[in-house]
Chain A
Amino acid sequence: MKKIFISLAILFVFIIYSAGIRHQVPVLKKPSSLIATTAPTGSSTTSGTSSAAATTSTGSSTTTTTTTSGSATGSNSSSNSGTFKDGTYTGSVADAYYGSVQVEVTISAGKITAVKFLQYPDTHATSVVINQQAMPYLEQEAIQAQSAKVQLISGATFTSQAFIQSLNSALSQA
Protein backbone atom coordinates (compact mmCIF):
# COMPACT_ATOMS: atom_id res chain seq x y z
CA MET A 1 0.00 0.00 0.00
CA LYS A 2 2.77 2.35 1.00
CA LYS A 3 4.71 1.52 -2.18
CA ILE A 4 1.67 2.26 -4.33
CA PHE A 5 1.20 5.58 -2.56
CA ILE A 6 4.82 6.58 -3.06
CA SER A 7 4.85 5.55 -6.70
CA LEU A 8 1.61 7.44 -7.30
CA ALA A 9 3.08 10.50 -5.61
CA ILE A 10 6.17 10.31 -7.81
CA LEU A 11 4.01 9.89 -10.89
CA PHE A 12 1.87 12.87 -9.86
CA VAL A 13 4.92 15.08 -9.32
CA PHE A 14 6.29 14.00 -12.70
CA ILE A 15 3.02 14.83 -14.49
CA ILE A 16 2.86 18.27 -12.85
CA TYR A 17 6.49 18.88 -13.80
CA SER A 18 6.06 17.81 -17.42
CA ALA A 19 2.89 19.86 -17.75
CA GLY A 20 4.82 22.83 -16.45
CA ILE A 21 7.60 22.31 -18.97
CA ARG A 22 5.12 21.84 -21.79
CA HIS A 23 3.35 25.11 -21.16
CA GLN A 24 6.54 27.03 -20.67
CA VAL A 25 6.71 28.79 -24.02
CA PRO A 26 9.91 30.68 -24.56
CA VAL A 27 8.59 34.19 -24.81
CA LEU A 28 10.79 36.99 -25.94
CA LYS A 29 9.35 40.22 -24.73
CA LYS A 30 8.73 42.48 -27.64
CA PRO A 31 9.78 46.07 -27.08
CA SER A 32 6.75 48.20 -26.31
CA SER A 33 7.85 50.79 -28.81
CA LEU A 34 10.12 49.93 -31.68
CA ILE A 35 10.55 53.53 -32.54
CA ALA A 36 13.15 54.67 -30.13
CA THR A 37 14.55 58.15 -30.07
CA THR A 38 16.69 58.92 -33.05
CA ALA A 39 20.38 59.09 -32.58
CA PRO A 40 21.70 62.48 -31.56
CA THR A 41 23.72 64.42 -34.05
CA GLY A 42 27.36 65.10 -33.74
CA SER A 43 28.44 61.59 -32.97
CA SER A 44 31.81 60.56 -34.16
CA THR A 45 32.22 60.15 -37.87
CA THR A 46 34.97 57.87 -38.99
CA SER A 47 34.46 57.52 -42.70
CA GLY A 48 33.04 60.90 -43.51
CA THR A 49 35.97 62.30 -45.38
CA SER A 50 35.31 60.75 -48.75
CA SER A 51 31.54 61.13 -48.61
CA ALA A 52 31.82 64.78 -47.63
CA ALA A 53 32.98 65.63 -51.11
CA ALA A 54 29.99 63.87 -52.60
CA THR A 55 27.48 65.67 -50.41
CA THR A 56 28.25 69.09 -51.79
CA SER A 57 25.89 68.53 -54.70
CA THR A 58 23.08 66.99 -52.73
CA GLY A 59 22.96 68.81 -49.43
CA SER A 60 23.73 67.44 -46.02
CA SER A 61 21.46 64.44 -46.08
CA THR A 62 24.25 61.90 -46.21
CA THR A 63 26.04 63.04 -43.06
CA THR A 64 24.46 60.47 -40.83
CA THR A 65 25.64 59.24 -37.50
CA THR A 66 28.21 56.57 -37.88
CA THR A 67 27.41 53.12 -36.63
CA THR A 68 30.12 50.75 -35.58
CA SER A 69 29.11 47.31 -36.75
CA GLY A 70 29.27 44.44 -34.35
CA SER A 71 31.63 46.04 -31.89
CA ALA A 72 29.43 46.87 -28.94
CA THR A 73 27.68 43.94 -27.37
CA GLY A 74 25.33 43.72 -24.44
CA SER A 75 27.89 42.04 -22.22
CA ASN A 76 30.19 45.02 -22.45
CA SER A 77 27.66 47.35 -20.94
CA SER A 78 27.04 45.23 -17.87
CA SER A 79 30.66 44.52 -17.01
CA ASN A 80 31.92 47.98 -17.72
CA SER A 81 31.01 50.51 -15.05
CA GLY A 82 33.09 53.31 -16.48
CA THR A 83 31.80 55.94 -18.91
CA PHE A 84 31.17 54.99 -22.52
CA LYS A 85 32.38 56.78 -25.55
CA ASP A 86 29.59 58.83 -27.16
CA GLY A 87 28.09 57.51 -30.38
CA THR A 88 25.72 54.97 -31.80
CA TYR A 89 26.72 51.33 -31.68
CA THR A 90 25.13 48.43 -33.47
CA GLY A 91 25.37 45.10 -31.76
CA SER A 92 26.07 41.91 -33.60
CA VAL A 93 23.14 39.77 -34.70
CA ALA A 94 22.27 37.21 -32.06
CA ASP A 95 20.31 34.08 -32.82
CA ALA A 96 17.34 33.85 -30.48
CA TYR A 97 16.07 30.55 -31.92
CA TYR A 98 12.75 32.04 -33.07
CA GLY A 99 14.57 34.76 -34.95
CA SER A 100 17.44 37.15 -34.65
CA VAL A 101 17.93 39.97 -32.22
CA GLN A 102 19.99 43.02 -32.93
CA VAL A 103 20.07 46.20 -30.94
CA GLU A 104 21.44 49.64 -31.47
CA VAL A 105 22.65 51.57 -28.48
CA THR A 106 23.04 55.31 -28.37
CA ILE A 107 25.47 56.82 -25.90
CA SER A 108 25.52 60.48 -25.07
CA ALA A 109 27.41 62.11 -22.22
CA GLY A 110 28.82 58.70 -21.38
CA LYS A 111 25.41 57.18 -20.71
CA ILE A 112 23.04 54.95 -22.63
CA THR A 113 20.26 57.21 -23.84
CA ALA A 114 18.47 54.90 -26.27
CA VAL A 115 18.34 51.25 -27.14
CA LYS A 116 16.65 50.39 -30.38
CA PHE A 117 15.73 46.95 -31.69
CA LEU A 118 16.96 46.67 -35.28
CA GLN A 119 15.76 43.08 -35.42
CA TYR A 120 13.52 41.10 -33.14
CA PRO A 121 11.89 37.70 -33.37
CA ASP A 122 8.39 37.81 -34.72
CA THR A 123 5.99 34.91 -34.38
CA HIS A 124 4.93 35.50 -37.98
CA ALA A 125 8.39 34.46 -39.15
CA THR A 126 7.63 30.81 -38.46
CA SER A 127 4.39 30.90 -40.39
CA VAL A 128 5.99 32.58 -43.39
CA VAL A 129 8.75 29.98 -43.54
CA ILE A 130 6.19 27.18 -43.33
CA ASN A 131 4.12 28.74 -46.06
CA GLN A 132 7.12 29.17 -48.31
CA GLN A 133 7.84 25.48 -47.98
CA ALA A 134 4.23 24.49 -48.53
CA MET A 135 3.83 26.41 -51.79
CA PRO A 136 6.83 25.90 -53.99
CA TYR A 137 4.78 25.10 -57.07
CA LEU A 138 3.56 28.43 -58.37
CA GLU A 139 3.27 28.63 -62.12
CA GLN A 140 6.29 29.80 -64.09
CA GLU A 141 7.02 31.02 -67.59
CA ALA A 142 9.89 32.45 -69.55
CA ILE A 143 9.49 36.21 -69.99
CA GLN A 144 8.50 37.30 -73.48
CA ALA A 145 8.05 40.66 -75.15
CA GLN A 146 4.44 41.82 -75.60
CA SER A 147 3.08 44.14 -78.22
CA ALA A 148 -0.36 45.10 -76.88
CA LYS A 149 -1.17 48.79 -76.52
CA VAL A 150 -0.90 50.14 -72.99
CA GLN A 151 -1.74 53.43 -71.28
CA LEU A 152 1.03 53.20 -68.75
CA ILE A 153 3.99 51.12 -67.63
CA SER A 154 4.93 49.74 -64.24
CA GLY A 155 8.58 49.25 -63.46
CA ALA A 156 11.20 50.02 -60.90
CA THR A 157 11.58 53.75 -60.41
CA PHE A 158 14.29 55.78 -61.94
CA THR A 159 15.03 58.81 -59.86
CA SER A 160 17.88 61.23 -60.14
CA GLN A 161 18.04 61.36 -56.35
CA ALA A 162 18.49 57.61 -56.10
CA PHE A 163 21.28 57.83 -58.63
CA ILE A 164 23.06 60.45 -56.54
CA GLN A 165 22.48 58.36 -53.44
CA SER A 166 23.97 55.31 -55.11
CA LEU A 167 26.90 57.34 -56.36
CA ASN A 168 27.53 58.75 -52.90
CA SER A 169 27.59 55.33 -51.35
CA ALA A 170 30.05 54.17 -53.97
CA LEU A 171 32.29 57.22 -53.46
CA SER A 172 32.26 56.75 -49.70
CA GLN A 173 33.93 53.38 -50.20
CA ALA A 174 36.49 54.76 -52.63
Chain B
Amino acid sequence: MKKTQIIMGMPITVEIVDAVNTETIDSVFNYFKVIDEQFSTYKPSSEISKINAGLPENEWSESMRLIIDLCEQTKKQSSGYFDIYYRGKFDPSGLVKGWSVNNAAQILRKTGVKNFYIEAGGDTQVSGMNAVGQPWAIGIRNPFKIDEIIKVIQLTDQGMATSGTYIRGQHIYNPHNHDQEINDIKSLTVIGENVYEADRFATAAFAMGKGGINFIEQMPGLEGYMVDSDKNATFTTGFKEFVVNNA
Protein backbone atom coordinates (compact mmCIF):
# COMPACT_ATOMS: atom_id res chain seq x y z
CA MET B 1 0.00 0.00 0.00
CA LYS B 2 1.37 3.40 -1.01
CA LYS B 3 -0.02 6.82 -0.26
CA THR B 4 1.14 10.44 -0.68
CA GLN B 5 -0.20 13.53 1.05
CA ILE B 6 0.95 17.14 1.18
CA ILE B 7 1.62 18.01 4.81
CA MET B 8 4.07 20.52 6.28
CA GLY B 9 4.23 22.09 2.82
CA MET B 10 5.82 19.05 1.21
CA PRO B 11 4.80 15.70 -0.24
CA ILE B 12 4.99 12.88 2.29
CA THR B 13 4.91 9.32 0.92
CA VAL B 14 4.41 6.13 2.88
CA GLU B 15 4.74 2.69 1.30
CA ILE B 16 3.99 -0.40 3.36
CA VAL B 17 4.81 -3.81 1.88
CA ASP B 18 3.19 -5.84 4.69
CA ALA B 19 -0.57 -6.41 4.53
CA VAL B 20 -2.16 -3.64 6.60
CA ASN B 21 -5.46 -1.80 6.70
CA THR B 22 -5.83 1.85 5.71
CA GLU B 23 -6.02 2.95 9.36
CA THR B 24 -2.37 1.97 9.83
CA ILE B 25 -1.15 4.11 6.96
CA ASP B 26 -3.48 6.96 7.96
CA SER B 27 -2.06 6.96 11.49
CA VAL B 28 1.26 8.05 9.99
CA PHE B 29 -0.30 10.98 8.14
CA ASN B 30 -2.30 11.96 11.22
CA TYR B 31 0.93 12.09 13.20
CA PHE B 32 2.49 14.48 10.65
CA LYS B 33 -0.60 16.70 10.82
CA VAL B 34 -0.19 16.99 14.61
CA ILE B 35 3.50 17.85 14.18
CA ASP B 36 2.63 20.47 11.57
CA GLU B 37 0.10 22.12 13.91
CA GLN B 38 2.77 22.43 16.60
CA PHE B 39 5.95 23.21 14.67
CA SER B 40 4.81 25.12 11.59
CA THR B 41 6.62 28.42 11.21
CA TYR B 42 3.84 29.59 8.90
CA LYS B 43 0.70 28.91 10.92
CA PRO B 44 0.08 31.74 13.40
CA SER B 45 -1.62 29.24 15.73
CA SER B 46 1.42 26.95 16.02
CA GLU B 47 3.50 26.79 19.16
CA ILE B 48 6.57 27.95 17.20
CA SER B 49 4.72 31.09 16.08
CA LYS B 50 3.54 31.71 19.65
CA ILE B 51 7.10 31.35 20.97
CA ASN B 52 8.37 33.80 18.36
CA ALA B 53 5.57 36.13 19.47
CA GLY B 54 6.82 35.97 23.05
CA LEU B 55 5.16 32.97 24.72
CA PRO B 56 6.91 32.68 28.11
CA GLU B 57 9.23 29.70 28.51
CA ASN B 58 7.25 28.15 31.35
CA GLU B 59 4.33 27.68 28.96
CA TRP B 60 6.30 25.73 26.35
CA SER B 61 5.23 22.13 25.82
CA GLU B 62 7.23 19.08 26.82
CA SER B 63 7.96 18.09 23.21
CA MET B 64 9.06 21.64 22.39
CA ARG B 65 11.60 21.47 25.22
CA LEU B 66 12.80 18.14 23.90
CA ILE B 67 13.29 19.59 20.40
CA ILE B 68 15.23 22.54 21.84
CA ASP B 69 17.46 20.14 23.80
CA LEU B 70 18.08 18.09 20.65
CA CYS B 71 18.85 21.25 18.68
CA GLU B 72 21.35 22.40 21.31
CA GLN B 73 22.93 18.96 21.32
CA THR B 74 23.24 19.00 17.53
CA LYS B 75 24.66 22.50 17.61
CA LYS B 76 27.41 21.40 20.00
CA GLN B 77 28.15 18.28 17.95
CA SER B 78 28.57 20.38 14.81
CA SER B 79 30.70 23.24 16.17
CA GLY B 80 27.77 25.62 16.08
CA TYR B 81 26.96 25.00 12.42
CA PHE B 82 23.50 23.74 13.29
CA ASP B 83 21.70 26.88 14.38
CA ILE B 84 17.99 27.22 15.09
CA TYR B 85 18.07 30.98 15.51
CA TYR B 86 18.20 32.92 12.30
CA ARG B 87 18.36 36.68 12.86
CA GLY B 88 16.66 36.23 16.19
CA LYS B 89 13.80 34.05 14.96
CA PHE B 90 13.39 30.59 16.37
CA ASP B 91 13.08 27.94 13.66
CA PRO B 92 13.94 24.30 14.48
CA SER B 93 12.53 22.91 11.21
CA GLY B 94 16.00 21.66 10.23
CA LEU B 95 15.61 19.04 12.93
CA VAL B 96 11.86 18.51 13.20
CA LYS B 97 11.54 16.90 9.76
CA GLY B 98 13.98 14.05 10.33
CA TRP B 99 12.86 13.66 13.93
CA SER B 100 9.19 13.34 12.97
CA VAL B 101 9.87 10.89 10.10
CA ASN B 102 11.85 8.75 12.51
CA ASN B 103 9.03 8.89 15.08
CA ALA B 104 6.49 7.97 12.42
CA ALA B 105 8.61 4.93 11.52
CA GLN B 106 8.56 3.90 15.16
CA ILE B 107 4.77 4.23 15.22
CA LEU B 108 4.61 1.74 12.33
CA ARG B 109 7.10 -0.66 13.91
CA LYS B 110 5.05 -0.70 17.13
CA THR B 111 2.06 -1.98 15.18
CA GLY B 112 4.20 -4.83 13.86
CA VAL B 113 4.92 -3.44 10.39
CA LYS B 114 8.40 -4.44 9.22
CA ASN B 115 8.79 -3.61 5.53
CA PHE B 116 8.10 -0.01 4.63
CA TYR B 117 9.53 3.41 3.88
CA ILE B 118 8.47 6.89 4.88
CA GLU B 119 9.70 9.81 2.79
CA ALA B 120 9.11 13.48 3.57
CA GLY B 121 10.47 16.02 1.12
CA GLY B 122 13.44 13.89 0.13
CA ASP B 123 14.30 12.64 3.63
CA THR B 124 13.75 8.93 3.97
CA GLN B 125 13.56 6.19 6.57
CA VAL B 126 13.49 2.67 5.18
CA SER B 127 12.73 -0.54 7.01
CA GLY B 128 13.15 -4.13 5.85
CA MET B 129 12.78 -4.97 2.17
CA ASN B 130 10.81 -3.68 -0.81
CA ALA B 131 7.86 -5.39 -2.55
CA VAL B 132 10.15 -7.82 -4.42
CA GLY B 133 12.17 -8.76 -1.33
CA GLN B 134 15.17 -6.59 -2.22
CA PRO B 135 16.76 -3.74 -0.28
CA TRP B 136 15.14 -0.37 -0.98
CA ALA B 137 16.78 1.44 -3.91
CA ILE B 138 17.01 5.21 -3.50
CA GLY B 139 18.26 7.58 -6.17
CA ILE B 140 20.26 10.71 -5.44
CA ARG B 141 18.92 13.53 -7.56
CA ASN B 142 21.20 15.50 -9.83
CA PRO B 143 21.27 19.02 -8.36
CA PHE B 144 21.91 20.41 -11.86
CA LYS B 145 19.09 18.48 -13.55
CA ILE B 146 16.19 17.59 -11.30
CA ASP B 147 14.78 14.78 -13.47
CA GLU B 148 18.06 12.87 -13.39
CA ILE B 149 19.55 10.44 -10.88
CA ILE B 150 23.32 10.41 -10.34
CA LYS B 151 23.65 7.61 -7.78
CA VAL B 152 21.61 4.67 -6.60
CA ILE B 153 21.80 3.64 -2.95
CA GLN B 154 20.61 0.40 -1.38
CA LEU B 155 19.33 0.52 2.19
CA THR B 156 17.46 -1.86 4.47
CA ASP B 157 17.13 -0.25 7.89
CA GLN B 158 18.74 3.15 7.57
CA GLY B 159 17.84 6.76 7.04
CA MET B 160 18.94 9.10 4.28
CA ALA B 161 18.64 12.86 3.82
CA THR B 162 19.82 15.43 1.30
CA SER B 163 20.51 19.09 1.95
CA GLY B 164 20.81 21.42 -0.96
CA THR B 165 20.17 24.83 -2.37
CA TYR B 166 19.21 23.96 -5.90
CA ILE B 167 15.42 23.87 -5.71
CA ARG B 168 14.40 26.14 -2.88
CA GLY B 169 17.00 28.70 -3.71
CA GLN B 170 19.42 29.71 -1.04
CA HIS B 171 17.95 28.29 2.15
CA ILE B 172 20.98 27.26 4.12
CA TYR B 173 23.31 29.88 5.52
CA ASN B 174 26.52 29.78 7.48
CA PRO B 175 25.52 30.51 11.10
CA HIS B 176 29.02 31.85 11.75
CA ASN B 177 28.47 34.44 9.05
CA HIS B 178 24.81 35.08 8.21
CA ASP B 179 25.58 37.00 5.05
CA GLN B 180 27.77 34.31 3.54
CA GLU B 181 25.86 32.17 1.10
CA ILE B 182 26.75 28.54 0.65
CA ASN B 183 27.50 28.33 -3.06
CA ASP B 184 30.56 26.12 -3.45
CA ILE B 185 28.49 22.96 -2.92
CA LYS B 186 25.16 22.04 -4.47
CA SER B 187 23.93 19.07 -2.47
CA LEU B 188 25.01 16.85 0.37
CA THR B 189 23.41 13.45 0.91
CA VAL B 190 23.91 11.70 4.24
CA ILE B 191 23.20 8.08 5.17
CA GLY B 192 22.79 7.36 8.88
CA GLU B 193 21.47 4.73 11.25
CA ASN B 194 18.15 6.55 11.00
CA VAL B 195 16.68 9.56 9.21
CA TYR B 196 16.94 11.74 12.32
CA GLU B 197 20.73 11.37 12.41
CA ALA B 198 21.01 11.73 8.63
CA ASP B 199 18.83 14.85 8.41
CA ARG B 200 20.28 16.87 11.27
CA PHE B 201 23.88 16.26 10.24
CA ALA B 202 23.15 16.81 6.53
CA THR B 203 21.79 20.24 7.47
CA ALA B 204 24.74 21.08 9.73
CA ALA B 205 27.41 19.75 7.34
CA PHE B 206 25.93 21.58 4.35
CA ALA B 207 26.34 24.85 6.23
CA MET B 208 30.07 24.09 6.49
CA GLY B 209 30.47 24.26 2.71
CA LYS B 210 33.12 22.03 1.13
CA GLY B 211 34.49 21.02 4.53
CA GLY B 212 31.15 19.42 5.39
CA ILE B 213 32.02 16.09 3.78
CA ASN B 214 35.08 15.81 6.04
CA PHE B 215 32.85 16.44 9.04
CA ILE B 216 30.60 13.55 7.90
CA GLU B 217 33.72 11.38 7.38
CA GLN B 218 34.80 11.86 10.98
CA MET B 219 31.34 11.25 12.44
CA PRO B 220 30.84 7.59 13.39
CA GLY B 221 27.87 5.92 11.73
CA LEU B 222 27.50 8.49 8.94
CA GLU B 223 28.38 8.32 5.25
CA GLY B 224 28.01 11.11 2.74
CA TYR B 225 28.02 12.11 -0.93
CA MET B 226 28.66 15.76 -1.74
CA VAL B 227 28.13 17.37 -5.13
CA ASP B 228 30.02 20.63 -5.64
CA SER B 229 29.43 23.48 -8.06
CA ASP B 230 31.96 22.00 -10.53
CA LYS B 231 29.76 18.89 -10.94
CA ASN B 232 32.24 16.81 -9.00
CA ALA B 233 31.22 14.48 -6.21
CA THR B 234 33.25 13.77 -3.08
CA PHE B 235 32.26 10.81 -0.91
CA THR B 236 33.21 9.29 2.42
CA THR B 237 35.25 6.08 2.69
CA GLY B 238 32.31 3.84 3.65
CA PHE B 239 29.87 5.27 1.11
CA LYS B 240 30.64 2.77 -1.67
CA GLU B 241 29.19 -0.09 0.37
CA PHE B 242 25.72 1.33 -0.20
CA VAL B 243 26.10 2.08 -3.91
CA VAL B 244 24.29 0.01 -6.51
CA ASN B 245 26.47 -0.29 -9.62
CA ASN B 246 24.84 1.12 -12.69
CA ALA B 247 23.16 -1.53 -14.80
Which residues of A are in contact with B by a Cβ distance under 8 Å?
A: 34-35, 37-41, 58-61, 64-65, 67, 88, 90, 93, 99-100, 104, 116, 118-120, 122, 124-125, 128, 131-132, 135-136, 138-163, 165-166
Measured between C-beta atoms, what is the minimum distance from B91 to chain A in Å?
Answer: 10
Please tell me if the beta carbons of A138 and B122 are within 8 angstroms of each other in the complex: no
Contact of B80 among A90, A93, A120, A136 (CB under 8 A): A120
Least CB separation from A125: chain B residue: B79
Once A and B bind, how many residue pairs between them come within 8 Å at the CB atom? 207
Instruction: Say if the beta carbon of B162 comes within 8 Å of chain A.
Output: yes
Residues of B within 8 A of A (CB): 8-10, 13, 15, 41-44, 49, 51-57, 68, 72, 75-77, 79-80, 85, 87-90, 117, 119, 121-124, 130, 136-146, 148-153, 160-171, 175-177, 187, 189, 211, 213-215, 217-218, 227, 231-237, 244, 246-247
CB-CB under 8 A for A38 and B51, given A59-B44, A146-B152, A154-B160:
yes
Q: Which residues of B contact A140 (CB under 8 A)?
A: 232-235
Q: Which residues of B contact A144 (CB under 8 A)?
A: 150, 246
Contact present for B123 and A154 (CB under 8 Å): yes
Identify the closest chain B residue to A121 (Cβ).
Answer: B80
Q: Offer 17 A-B interface pairs, CB within 8 angstroms, sorted by A.
A: A41-B54, A60-B44, A61-B41, A90-B87, A99-B80, A118-B85, A120-B80, A122-B80, A125-B80, A131-B218, A138-B214, A143-B233, A150-B137, A153-B139, A154-B139, A162-B171, A166-B169
B136 touches A152 (CB 8 A): yes
Asked if B49 and A61 sit within 8 Å, CB to CB, the answer is: yes
